[in-house]
A = this chain, B = another copy of it.
């Protein structure tokens, strides 16, 4: 079965947002035997929307539409589909009650235009929306199927996972399964060199590297019968890659680095505190995004000023005077200071120059020190990063998490 993802929304054509819904859906559909051949985006214009939908129905078995289900007059997705399939829009009482309940829970008044969202094409399968007001739906007509989902990812994703994925899996005879291997500390070219014979020889599964923001992801993709064991096709390749690149492979489950590190800390009951300067809370913010981290994350301090470094973290004024705030000496004292202040097993610190200002010849933008203190030791790393403020802060956070990860591995062995 092949599919087209048709996004509806002038905000996409005006460049206000990127079409991340198409990315999300495209990544998941092959797993249930659906190949995505096209993405299309069209605005809130009835004629062009109708044209695009007709074309999609000609060339694709399934059309997944996102957006255009809102309460405003601009929102035309359901109306257009209903017209093409010659169906009426009828009030779905259950959805109306859900929408009313949604507003009641928020103690907000429901405006009349929200009632429009409860009207759906007759004879469709309604997809419940637990995170917003617009229900979705599935319409089958002959061998074709159109699925409508709301535009906001926080609403679209749960609806897609709970209803659309099971819908296609039940129809499919085969599926494609991918594993995403995440690698930190080896560049894309070097990684490709290390795996070249595998990449060239393999046809099932295939191997494809992809670099982004300071790390590399390897996609390993296998095709198999619906009920066959893709695992047995994938795992020998995963194991061979793991053998070759060792500890630089930090996840075989497409988890990001903060998630891997957060879960290592939780599982081993190792507590952490963080003192940040140039990253300004970014690292604490990322690690505290992990559910359950409150059991091991003690506290974080964003010591932007020298005053805060001295008064809160206990960095010596002498150290700051002699070596400067951006130095390995300061990083080490910050790591030890936060560890003692918070009485945690590990103390992590970051100090550096994220730019755009603040750089000198001796200490240019991109110079960053990361340090990690534990009960009977401390280590640090000097980084020389390139890019804008955002990139420098992000890549710094990866190095910081990786330092914790490698420390945990060495302690566990």
Tell me how far the C-beta of A59 lies from the nearest C-beta in chain B, rounded to whole angstroms.
Answer: 8
Q: Is the CB of A15 within 8 A of B19?
A: no
Nearest CB of B to A364, in Å: 10
B residues in contact with A291, CB < 8 Å: 355-357, 389
Within 8 Å by CB of A106, from B48, B294, B386, lies B386
Known A280-B284, A386-B131; contact A18-B19, beta-carbon cutoff 8 A: yes
- A294 and B299 within 8 A (CB): no
**How many copies of this protein are present in the complex?**
2
13 additional contacts (CB under 8 A) given A274-B281, A294-B304: A12-B22, A13-B38, A15-B23, A16-B210, A37-B42, A40-B40, A55-B55, A74-B208, A274-B302, A283-B285, A288-B304, A300-B304, A301-B312
Answer whether residue A98 sits at the interface, using C-beta atoms and an 8 A cutoff. no
Q: Which residues of B contact A107 (CB under 8 A)?
A: 384
Contacting B at CB under 8 A, from A175-230, are: 178, 180, 187-190, 192-193, 208-213, 217, 219, 221
Which residues of A are in contact with B by a Cβ distance under 8 Å?
7, 10-20, 22-28, 30, 36-43, 45, 48, 51-52, 55, 59, 70-72, 74, 105-108, 111, 113-114, 131, 152, 154, 178, 180, 187-190, 192-193, 208-213, 217, 219, 221, 274, 276, 279-289, 291-294, 297-305, 307-308, 311-312, 341-343, 355-358, 384, 386-391, 393
Known: A279-B285, A304-B288. A15 touches B41 (CB 8 A): no
Q: Is the CB of A105 within 8 A of B285?
A: no
Q: A283-B281, A287-B280, A304-B294 are in contact. Are A219 and B16 (CB under 8 A)?
A: yes
23 residue pairs of the A-B complex, CB under 8 angstroms, read A12-B26, A14-B26, A14-B219, A15-B22, A15-B36, A16-B23, A16-B217, A16-B219, A18-B22, A71-B189, A105-B386, A111-B189, A131-B386, A154-B213, A276-B281, A280-B293, A289-B389, A289-B393, A297-B302, A299-B303, A299-B308, A301-B302, A307-B343
A303 partner residues in chain B, CB cutoff 8 A: 299
CB within 8 Å for A18 and B10 given contacts A40-B39, A284-B285, A287-B280: no
Q: Which of B52, B108, B180, B311 contacts A16 (CB 8 A)?
A: B180
Given known A-B contacts A39-B40, A285-B282, A291-B389, A178 and B298 have beta carbons under 8 A apart: no
Least Cβ–Cβ distance between A361 and chain B, in angstroms: 14
- When the two chains form their complex, are residues A300 and B281 in contact, meaning their CB atoms are under 8 A apart? yes
Partner of A25, one of B15, B40, B178, B390: B15
Contact of A308 with B11 at beta-carbon distance under 8 Å, contacts A279-B285, A280-B300, A357-B292 already known: no
Contacts of A289 in B (CB 8 A): 280, 282, 389-390, 393
When chains A and B are docked, how far (Å) is the Cα of A390 from the Cα of B259?
A: 14
Contact: B22 with A41, CB < 8 Å? Answer: yes
Q: Which residues of B sit under 8 angstroms from A304, Cβ to Cβ?
A: 288, 294, 297-300
CA distance A52 to B48 in the complex (A): 16
Contact in complex: B192, A72 (CB < 8 Å):
yes
Contact A131 B288 (CB under 8 A): no
When distances are taken between beta carbons in the complex, the residues of chain B under 8 Å from A152 are 211-212
Output the least CB separation between A3 and chain B (Å): 10
Residue of B nearest to A217 (CB): B16
Residues in B whose Cβ lies below 8 Å from that of A280 = 284-285, 287-289, 293, 297, 300
Question: How far is A55 from B58 in the complex, measured between Cα atoms in Å?
Answer: 13
Most chain-B Cβ atoms within 10 A of its Cβ — which of A106, A300, A343? A300
